[in-house]
Amino acid sequence: MTITRRTLLTAGAALPFASALHAQTWPGDQTIKVMVPFPPGGSTDIIGRMVAEHLQKQLSATVIVENLPGATGTIGVAAVARAKPDGYTLLMGSVGTMVTNHFAYEKLPFTIDSIAPVINLAETPNVLMVRPDLPVKTPGELIAYMKANPGKLQYGSSGIASSAHVACELLKLRAGVDAVHVPYKGGTPMLNDLMAGTIDFSIDQISSALKLMQAGRIRALAVASRTRSTQLPGVPTLAETIPDFVSSPWFCVGAPAGTPRPVIMRVNTALNSMLADKAVLAKLEGFGILPVGGTPEDLAALMKREAAQMRELSTRVNLRNS
């Protein structure tokens, strides 16, 4: 058969109609899989199961969660990137899997464009916290103390390229200060050493340390979210000291690149409605998670901003996860 330019143009013109037709029949009686690239029990898994439950109701379809952990989420993301872009495979992603890992690993089997943005679902506010006997009470005092003692303070994180590592390096960059990074194998040992005074400060999720802060075993100086936290109402935002400073881990839904736009919008609409459900909001609040929502373009813009920030940061500090 001879393929002419007219044949190609005709085939190309038919693609939007094929996508629209697929969206009308999707999901049909096929199962939708929500891939969670982490083990059960964590924040990504908790939100992923809420997503699956709500999509099942909204779409009258069978929706399952599959946990495929490993390599800081990259194994699960790679599986989604390889999947057929037909709407039957979705990714429960995060800032780490969607952006940070591209700067933490030298080579990945996918690119930042391999996953199409669907919706930014939620965020978990970070908090700047210090050991209880550090002689500072505000972010400004901490910055002044670090400037008076360059390179003498130590901050902890749950590992190289973790949320805490990135947030603390951003603080150093934006405030013009220096401190030594002490990476731990997880958040719990890091918090234990912060309480004991082995390290001086960290920036990590409020939900991880809320009870310790309420008990006075760790002192909260500021939240790194856009607005003050209802969980720590008397604590200011870091942006009140460092303009526009926001560093909050976020959770999103993505799909294999090339997934038809009408399918992406049906998922987006269904999940925006989930974030308007009072029962869902109460459950999220119980885990210290804030709803976000919005369009695929909102998530794409967020990813672009985060990538630019990570690109700048990676030229100044080693974020490689060996």
Q: Specify whether the CB–CB gap between 267 and 90 falls below 8 A.
A: yes
Structural domain spans, the chain: 29-123+249-314, 126-240
Strands 63-67 and 219-223, bridge-based pairing: unpaired
CA distance 147 to 155: 15
CATH classification of 126-240 is 1.20.1090.10, yes or no? no
Residue type, 119: I
Which whole number is the average pLDDT over 201-219?
A: 92
Which whole number is the average pLDDT over 244-261?
A: 96
Q: What is the pLDDT of residues 114-140, one digit of tens each?
A: 999 999 999 998 999 999 999 999 999
Predicted local distance difference test score (pLDDT) of residue 20: 56
Q: CA angle, corner 121, sides to 41 and 77, nearest 5?
A: 60
Q: Does this chain's domain 29-123+249-314 share its CATH topology with 126-240?
A: yes
Predicted local distance difference test score (pLDDT) of residue 250: 95
Predicted local distance difference test score (pLDDT) of residue 169: 95
Which whole number is the average pLDDT over 26-39?
A: 94
CB atoms within 10 A of CB 119: 27
pLDDT at 272 over 80: yes
Q: What is the pLDDT of residues 152-192, one digit of tens each?
A: 999 999 888 888 999 999 999 999 999 999 999 888 999 99
Q: Specify whether the CB–CB gap between 254 and 296 falls below 8 A.
A: no
Q: Specify whether the CB–CB gap between 94 and 69 falls below 8 A.
A: no
Selection from 71, 15, 88 nearest residue 80 by Cα? 88
pLDDT level of residue 322 (50, 70, 90 thresholds): low
Predicted local distance difference test score (pLDDT) of residue 1: 47
Sheet containing 250-256: which strands, arranged edge to edge? 63-67, 32-36, 89-94, 250-256, 115-123, 290-291
Predicted local distance difference test score (pLDDT) of residue 187: 87
Predicted local distance difference test score (pLDDT) of residue 42: 84
According to CATH, the superfamily of the domain at 29-123+249-314 is Bordetella uptake gene, domain 1 (3.40.190.150)
Which whole number is the average pLDDT over 4-25?
A: 56
pLDDT level of residue 51 (50, 70, 90 thresholds): very high
CA distance 155 to 182: 6
Query: What's the chain's average pLDDT?
Result: 91
Q: What percent of the chain has pLDDT over 90?
A: 75
CA distance 185 to 199: 15
